[in-house]
Each structure stands twice: as structure tokens, then as C-alpha cells.
Chains A and B, each alone.
Chain A
Amino acid sequence: MRATCWMGRNDVRVEQVPDPKILNPRDAIVRITSTAICGSDLHLYNGFIPTMEKGDILGHEFMGEVVEVGREIHNLKVGDRVVVPFPIACGGCFSCQNHLFSVCENSNPNAWMAEKMWGYSPAAIFGYSHMLGGYAGGQAEYARVPYADVGPIKVPNGMADEQALFLSDIFPTGYMGAENCNIRPGDTIAVWGCGPVGQFAIKSAFLLGAERVIAIDRFPYRLRMARESGAETVNYEEVDSVHDALKEMTGGRGPDACIDAVGMEAHGLGAVGAYDRAKQAMALETDRIVALREAVMACRNGGTVSVIGVYGGFVDKFPMGSIVNRSLTIRAGQAHVQHYMRPLLERIENGEIDPSFVITHLMSLDDAPHGYETFLHKQDECMKVVLRP
């Protein structure tokens, strides 16, 4: 089968690879009908994530049709149309039973690697480095889905792929980011990053009852999409200080909660941005946290900073004093997708949201390298690239 393989920094190629096979009794094989490129795939593309090896298959947002099931799978049969969540969760451990699926204790066979980096290992993820399991990803024609009785959910017949696909990752991620803000009536939420995850965070914040959402980015087309969702926008390249702009817009108090949907490759202006870039280039800092710093400093006293951008390692100049002295709450994590899939599917069925609004580019799987470049450089007003094998 064809698959998008990581061949090195800024080098992905569609290669011929062997088809996946059932390895365990709870596996299923899915023939993929739609798959997307995620912002976190760009961290792999740009070489920021360690333990990648040449030939690794990328992709963790995918859906398709079941073509084979292991002998212990009884909830799915051949021919079912399913969406597959990106964290691989076993369903039987303490974490899974507490619905913390993205920190499943059992799914990562390379847990010792992640333990060295982070203390304990989170759940494995499809196509996201050997430290996180070494599972083949979903930007391919077929994928093996472990624990198929826990992860995949069936897609209703009338729903198009474009509407269901983002239940795999970005819709639950944005939703969890908003949910972690503990939104109460009257709240103002500020969202850094108007990429696809940020767009879903904005929409989710409104779904969860936020009074106002302020979106921060620098690309006019992304800010325009945010405005279409009802957000007010700040272009950080046009204001002197985002902090001051937010202060003014919120009557001097600051937003009640801040969502960081930017992550480790934050683009920063001026001296601070240069500082982070320099430190990262010299491997003195693994992540750039320009957006996170701003979010912490801008949040009102007693507010919440909800981090859904992906970070990998260690950061410099983190405003711990601001957090301690102003009673801030930090909530972070990879989305516990399995927990959110069914409720969010219901919302789609009810017509409360149509996730396909983020799609700007539809390509064939063979054009994946072009898709990565377009997405990375935000060419052609690119928001989300969906690949069809």
C-alpha cells in the first residue's frame, strides 16, 4: 500500500509499504477513506520531535471502513464506517477507566523511552515517533487499529467524511481546551492561535456558554475565519502589545481564561521571539513559549490557562511568579478523545456545528508532500489539508 513516510527533516514521501496485519486479538484493520495533516505533524516535519526514524508512517487523524477484525472484537464488523481517535487506549487500566484516555498506562510498548523524558509514559499515538509507541500512522491506505473495541466509533450513514473526520483529533482537542476553562456565563475567553484547533476552541467556547471570545493570530484569513465564528480578533503584528489590547478589551481585568492553541513552534516578534529562536537553535531550549508566556501574563487574576498546544520538552523563562502570585490555574493535556467523541458526534448530528468549515484543501494521498508544504507555509490561505488515499 501507499503511505506517507517521514524520511528526514522537511522530507516526507509517499512510499510503497507492506499492508498492515492483525497482530493482537483486539486489533482491527481499517481501509482509510479520509485523513488529515495536523499542526502537530508539522513538529515532526520540522524535526522537533525526537525518536523518529526514516520510514515511519505519519498521520493520526483518519477514518474509514473496517476490513478485518481480530477474534476478540465483537462491537465492529467488516464494512462498518468508523472514525479512529488519535490516542491509543486500552480501556482496562486506571487511566482509561477514569476517562483519561490520552494517558493510558498500557498502550505504549516503548514506555521506557517516554519515562526518561517525562517521568511516566502517556498513551501511544498513531504515527508520532517511537517514544510514543512506534505505531504506523494513518496517512496511508490502511491502518491497524489496536484496542478496536475502545477507540473507533461508528459514523452515521448520512454523515459525510468531512463532517466526521475531525472527531479523531482537532474537534475534541479544541473542545477540551474550552471545557478546561470552566466557562461560566459572562466569561471572556482569549484564544492564542487561529489554526484549526484554535478555530474549534473558539466554536467550543461559544457552545459552552462563553460571552465573548477574543482570538489572537497574525494571518488575516485566519482571523477572518475566527470572526465568522463570532470572535473578536487581535492581530499581534498590528498592535503594540497584545497584553494591553486584551486589557483594554476586557475593561482592565483581562480575559477570564486563556487558551494556548499554538504550541512549541510559537512565532514571536521582537526581542522575546528572537531570544526563544536563538535558544532553540542552540539546543538550550526545546520549545518556544512566546504564546504561552503571553497567555499567562494576560490572564485575569484567579483565571485559568488552558494549554492544548503541543509541547515536548523544557522551556526557559516561564512566568511562574505570575502564576503563583495571581492564583492562576494551568490545565493541560492531549485530548482524551474517546471521552468526547460520542457527545460531540451528537452535537454534529443536531446541527450545532459543522466541522467541515476548516477544510480548505482536499488532495490525493500522493500529494501529501505538497500538502505538508502548503500547510506549513500557510500558502493559498491554507487552514486544513485533507488527503484522500
Chain B
Amino acid sequence: MEVFKRRPYQTPGAVIRPLGFAPAGARSRPYTKFRRENFLNLVLHRLPAGQSADGTCCQDVKSQDAGLMAMVIQGARQGAIRAGGGNGMVRAIGWVSLGLGLAGVAAPRRVARMIGAGESDDSRDALLAVGLREIASGIGILSRPQSAGWLWARVGGDVMDLALLGAAAYASDRSQRDGGRLAATAAAVAGIAALDLSCARRLGSQGIGAAVGWAQDHAIHLKKTITLNRPREAVYGFWRDFTNLPRVMGHLESVEPVGDGRSRWRAKGPAGRSVEWDAEVTEDRPNERLAWRSLPGGDVDNAGSVRFEPGPGGRGTVLTVELRYIPPGGALGVAIARLFGREPGQEIQEDLRAFKQMMETGEVARSEASLGRIRHPAQAPAG
């Protein structure tokens, strides 16, 4: 007969109590234990266990362990069945996560014994928490298999699990600890962690690409469109003279003609540096299309085109800008820039907005506050 201790702190049981499972540390009524056994039986397709006087199941330990393994394997099989095409491995990981999580929540003591951590209350609490986490990450992965975030969460969870296993190895209550099983579990978790890591990184690179648009050669590919209430000739005329562009494009510092149809561009790069490149016009159909490309030897490889079309029903000009460039710093540079709230697409969008304002109003809209972090918006900007 197990002795349950009162816990002074809130346990995951507060969360799962409504599910009919007895929380660790509370007084477990026979009814609740009975329900839990029957749930397990239901999942594992066993006959209902007979009840003893205190409600503990009468089936032997080994078959219960085997039943749990069956549950996990069932989950993996589900994953394998659903896997196929695209992120099959990721989905499989999701199903296994769900399976493990359900096992941990349904039978924490048994799982704890299986992995060699012993059947103490501490390990039961830990397994409950781990189980809930696994369920959450499993649901997360399965609902968004193309997102790297959940896989990174799994990696974090695996690291946590390794830490917990390490703590269990040095637990004070050594009577129930099984060193061999702990080692085997740690090896398995490490292997799973490696798998999660590789999937997360693979998805991560796809993720940036999915949002921004990776072409085959890992360039960033942007396309933005804007309608200007001005005739095509005026819009083309402004754009064709590249030296005008720094007036409206915030990240361009200067554009200078260097003769022979070429121009030297300088822009603000990452970390406050400037980047420079020479470019030549590759296509120039007046009032229709303008295309340019950077020449080899510059800091940033880029190519772009601008299309000018009449708006529907004669409503102004529709400008479509396409830009391809390999950012300095590569994918990591983009990710870091993202952290600071700067997306390549957003900058181009703001530049196009400024261009539209210049074309339609003759000036770029400036409010006191938009000029910087100013406490009193009436404060004039420096310079």
C-alpha cells in the first residue's frame, strides 16, 4: 500500500485533476485509481483489471511495462502511417511526442520505473510535468509541422530531460534507482535530441525562406507593389534617374553615375557599416520596365526590376518592384536582423510608401514622433 505525502506546493495534479487522474500528493481515492487503470486498459485493449481491496491493479508489473511500450510504439506507428511527403519525419516526431506524453501523464510511476528513476513521488511529479510538456509539443508540432519553433522547443525539452535524468542518477533515494535503465534512457533521449535538432535546423532554414522567399540559390527574393496617383511617365522619370532614389529609400545612402551606363550604390549595411556595389542597367523600356544588376566585386550581390503599368480604369500607375539579393551575413544575418524588428520586406515597403508620398505630395510625411524616440513630439529633430 503506497503512502501519499501531502505536498506544500501546487502540483500538476491541479491541472489534470478534472481528467480523473489522482494528483501526486493528494489522497488518492480507490475510485480514481480504478478509473486510471481502466483508462489504461482501454488504451491498451486489455481486459479490465480485477480490483483488490485498495484498488491497485492485480496485473503484474512486467506486462504493464510492456503495455506502456505498446502505447508508445502505437504512437510511433501512427506517425509512420501519417508520415509521407514533405515533413514526414517531423510529423512522426510529433506523434511520438504525443504518445510519450500520454504515457507520462497516464502512468507516471510506471514510466518512472521503466526509465530507471524509481517510483518516488518526486519522479512521479516530474514525469507528469514532462508528460504534459510532451503532449503540448506534440500537439504543437502536429498542428504546424512546417514551423521550426516547436522542434526547437523539443530540443529544449530533451536537454531538460537529460538534466532530470542526471538529477535522478544522483537522487538520495537509491533503493529504487536503476542505473542501467537510466543510462539507456539517457542515450535514447540524446539520440532523440540529435534528431530534433537536425529537423529544427532544416525547418529553420526553410522557415526563413518560406517567409521571405528563398530562390534555389539562397538569395532573398522580394516583390512589392504600390499604386501611385501619377502618370507613368512621371513615375518612370523619377525612377530612371537613380540618383533620386536615396531621397526616398531610407537605407540607400547614395547612388552616383560612374559613366558607361553604370552607377555606384552605397547603402547602410548591418552593424552600422556601409555596403557598396556597382550596378548596370540590363533592361530599359521607357515607361514600362527597368532592370538592373550588380557587377561582380561588390559587397552585395543583387538584381532588381521595376515594372510600370497603368492602373485599372486609368487609375494612376501600378509599380511592381522585384528585388533579389544575397544579404551580407546570410540567413543568420536575416534572422538576427529580424530579432531587431527589421525585415527586408518591411524596409522596401516603407521605401515604396515614401516614394508614393514624394510622387503624390512632393514631400515625405514626417511627424514629430516618427523622427525618432522623442518624448515630447513637438521637439524639432536634430538637423
Contact = CB atoms under 8 A, between A and B. Distances in A.
Interface in B335-383: 346, 349-350, 353, 356-357, 360-371, 374-381
B346 A135 contact: no
Nearest to B359: A92
A26 B370 contact: no
Contacts of A106: 353, 356-357, 360-361, 365
Given A109-B370, A130-B369, A135-B369, A15 B376 contact: yes
Contact of A136 (B227, B360, B364, B378): B378
A146 B360 contact: no
Nearest to B373: A53
A18 B378 contact: yes
Interface string A90-108: 1111100100000001111
B213 interface: no
A25 interface: yes
A58 to B, nearest CB: 10
A54 B380 contact: no
Contact of B365 (A57, A72, A94, A146): A146
B369 A56 contact: yes
A142 B350 CA distance: 30
Contact of B357 (A15, A25, A90): A90
A20 B376 CA distance: 10
A295 interface: no
Given A5-B376, A140-B378, A90 B367 contact: no
Interface in A74-102: 90-94, 97
Given A55-B375, A57-B377, A94-B315, A24 B363 contact: yes
B229 interface: yes
Contacts of A23: 366, 368, 371, 380-381
Contact of A97 (B229, B350, B356, B379): B229
Contact of A17 (B316, B367, B376): B376
Contact of A112 (B346, B361, B380): B346
A135 B368 contact: yes
Contacts of A94: 227, 229, 315-316
B378 A90 contact: no
Given A18-B378, A57-B378, A26 B362 contact: yes
Contacts of B357: 90, 106
Interface string A119-143: 0000010000010011110001010
Contacts of B375: 53-55
B365 A112 contact: no
A384 interface: no
Contacts of A117: none
A254 B346 CA distance: 49
Given A92-B229, A135-B367, A147 B379 contact: no
Contacts of B349: 112
B376 A90 contact: no
Contacts of B361: 26, 90-93, 106, 147
Contacts of B377: 55-57, 134-136
A110 interface: yes
Interface in B301-340: 315-316
Given A90-B361, A92-B361, A112-B350, A53 B229 contact: no
A18 B374 CA distance: 12
Contacts of B374: 55
- How large, as a class, is the contact surface on chain A? 35 or more
A253 to B, nearest CB: 41
Contacts of B227: 94
Contacts of A144: 368, 378
Contact of B380 (A18, A24, A55, A93): A18
A105 B227 CA distance: 10
B378 A17 contact: yes
A5 B378 CA distance: 11
Q: Which of A15, A17, A23 has the most CB of B within 10 A?
A: A23
Contacts of B376: 3, 5, 15, 17-18, 55, 57
A14 interface: no
A1 B229 contact: no
Nearest to B370: A109
A15 B369 CA distance: 17
Nearest to A21: B380
Contacts of A55: 374-377
Contacts of A381: none
B356 to A, nearest CB: 7
Contact of A124 (B363, B367, B378, B381): B367
Nearest to B311: A94
A258 to B, nearest CB: 34
B48 to A, nearest CB: 43
Interface in A202-219: none
A111 interface: yes
B378 A19 contact: yes
Contacts of A20: 368, 378, 380
A108 to B, nearest CB: 7
A85 B47 CA distance: 79
Contacts of B316: 94
A369 to B, nearest CB: 17
A135 B375 CA distance: 12
Nearest to A19: B378
Contacts of B381: 23
Interface in A1-60: 1, 3, 5, 15, 17-21, 23-26, 53-57
Contacts of A91: 361
Contacts of A112: 346, 349-350
A25 B380 contact: no
Given A92-B360, A111-B353, A18 B379 contact: yes
Contacts of B356: 93, 105-106
15 contacts: A15-B376, A17-B379, A18-B378, A53-B369, A72-B363, A93-B360, A106-B357, A106-B361, A107-B365, A110-B367, A112-B350, A130-B370, A133-B370, A134-B368, A134-B369
Interface of A: 1, 3, 5, 15, 17-21, 23-26, 53-57, 72, 90-94, 97, 105-112, 124, 130, 133-136, 140, 142, 144, 146-147
* 6 A-B pairs with the lowest CB-CB distances in the bound complex, closest first: A134-B369, A92-B360, A109-B370, A55-B375, A21-B380, A136-B377
Given A23-B380, A56-B369, A134-B377, 14 more contacts: A15-B376, A18-B378, A24-B363, A53-B375, A55-B375, A93-B360, A105-B360, A108-B365, A130-B369, A130-B370, A133-B369, A134-B368, A136-B369, A147-B361
